[in-house]
């Protein structure tokens, strides 16, 4: 699970998210999200405890600034983000926060041990319960991830991959086939994709299935009748030349 895929994480017993995750989910530039946070902290010092400055590392080892925020910080930050997609992700984020906080809320209170033997039992019980809570939280996060649709940036990646693949299958944008049957090809791959994954549109695909969705798009082939039509159309182009 990558940093951009997971909406809400556990940090020191608190449900949190990051500015980078928000930027990816809401299809915004990370630097703009950071600027929004800076503005909030500059306007009111009382909100500073909702945000923690930190960094993240890229695969190449370079470090960049990011901000960790709790539920209140997230709510304050995205209050001004508008549009249907933004509203959908606000609801999903809040639900993710609520479910993780609920999973953490029910930890039982242990009585104080009377001796060393009881102390060891308490330590062991605490470790076992903590591991169990971590497993429960990780399961909750995975289930949330599986229920959520794709961020706009990843849905766009699928659409771009689809276009590149169709262009290749039809022999290029300048080909006779692309001019005459590209619309049919785009419609066909879209229909096949939705049927295969049982979704109404690309951004409804579960986050956990993004890689499989990309693999499906790039390995999709034209149906026999359409493939023959493409061949004939492009052959006509060659004969004309």
pLDDT digits (tens, 9 = 90+) for 82-118: 776 677 777 778 777 877 777 776 655 545 555 565 5
Q: How far is residue 37's CA from residue 185's CA, in Å, rounded to a whole number?
A: 44
For residue 101, tell me if it sits in a domain: yes
Mean pLDDT of 193-218: 88
For residue 70, tell me if it sits in a domain: yes
For residue 123, pLDDT over 80 is answered with: no
For residue 57, tell me if it sits in a domain: yes
pLDDT: which is higher, 176 or 89: 176
Q: Picking from 14-28, 90-104, 164-178, which range would have the lowest pLDDT averaged per residue? A: 90-104
Q: Clarify whether residues 80 and 168 are in a common domain.
A: no
Q: Clarify whether residues 143 and 156 are in a common domain.
A: no
Q: What is the pLDDT of residue 135?
A: 57
Provide DSSP, 12-28: TTEEEEEHHHHHHHTT-
Q: What is the residue range of 228's domain?
A: 152-240
Q: Clarify whether residues 127 and 56 are in a common domain.
A: yes
The mean pLDDT of the chain is: 79
Mean pLDDT of 148-153: 68
Q: Clarify whether residues 42 and 158 are in a common domain.
A: no
Domains contained in the chain, number: 2
């Amino acid at each position: 699970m990558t940093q951009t895929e997971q909406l809400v994480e556990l940090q020191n017993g608190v449900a949190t998210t990051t500015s980078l995750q928000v930027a990816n989910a809401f299809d915004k530039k990370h630097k703009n999200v950071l600027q929004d946070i800076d503005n909030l902290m500059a306007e009111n010092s009382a909100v500073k405890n909702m945000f923690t400055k930190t960094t993240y590392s890229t695969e190449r080892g370079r470090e960049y600034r990011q901000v960790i925020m709790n539920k209140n910080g997230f709510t304050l930050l995205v209050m001004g983000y508008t549009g249907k997609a933004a509203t959908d992700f606000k609801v999903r984020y809040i639900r993710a926060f609520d479910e993780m906080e609920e999973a953490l809320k029910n930890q039982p209170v242990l009585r104080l041990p009377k001796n060393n033997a009881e102390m060891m039992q308490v330590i062991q019980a605490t470790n076992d319960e903590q591991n169990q809570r971590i497993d429960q939280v990780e399961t909750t996060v995975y289930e949330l991830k599986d229920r959520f649709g794709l961020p706009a940036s990843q849905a766009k990646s699928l659409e771009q991959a689809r276009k590149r693949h169709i262009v290749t299958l039809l022999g290029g944008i300048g080909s006779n086939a692309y001019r005459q049957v590209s619309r049919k090809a785009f419609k066909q791959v879209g229909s096949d994709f939705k049927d295969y994954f049982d979704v109404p549109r690309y951004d409804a695909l579960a986050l956990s299935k993004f890689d499989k969705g990309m693999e499906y798009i790039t390995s999709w082939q034209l149906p026999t009748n359409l493939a023959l039509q493409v061949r004939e159309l492009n052959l006509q182009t060659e004969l004309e030349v």
